[in-house]
């Protein structure tokens, strides 16, 4: 059984970067944990976290609840950006 924290990290409504996390982990597994081989995946993850953290900060400032948009709301936001 996963811990509550681990479950939250897997929850697409809470963690907008599940796919990037999984891709980074898979790259590390596939490349015998050679971090140099996975730099692009790490950068994608870092960009994802920064982008959604900025969205949360803006929503918090504007009093929007919840601070993290749902997975469906995020999908629509990304689509509207192209």
Q: Which is more confidently placed, 12 or 78?
A: 78
Asked if the model's pLDDT at residue 2 lies above 90, the reply is no
Confidence of residue 3 (pLDDT cuts 50, 70, 90): confident
* C-alpha separations of 39 from 49, 63, 69, 78, 79 in Å: 15, 36, 28, 24, 26
Please state, in angstroms and rounded to a whole number, the distance separating the CA atoms of residues 75 and 82: 11
pTM: 0.84
What confidence tens digit (pLDDT) does each residue in 63-76 have?
999 999 999 999 99
What confidence tens digit (pLDDT) does each residue in 37-71 have?
999 999 999 999 999 999 999 999 999 999 999 99
């Amino acid at each position: 059984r996963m811990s509550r924290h681990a479950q939250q990290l897997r929850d697409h409504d809470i963690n907008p970067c599940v796919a990037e996390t999984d891709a980074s982990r898979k790259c590390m597994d596939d490349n015998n944990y050679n971090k140099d081989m996975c730099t692009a995946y790490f950068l994608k993850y870092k960009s994802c976290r920064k982008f959604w953290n900025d969205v949360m900060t803006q929503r918090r400032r504007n009093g929007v609840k919840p601070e993290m948009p749902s997975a469906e709301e995020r999908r629509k936001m990304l689509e509207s950006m192209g």
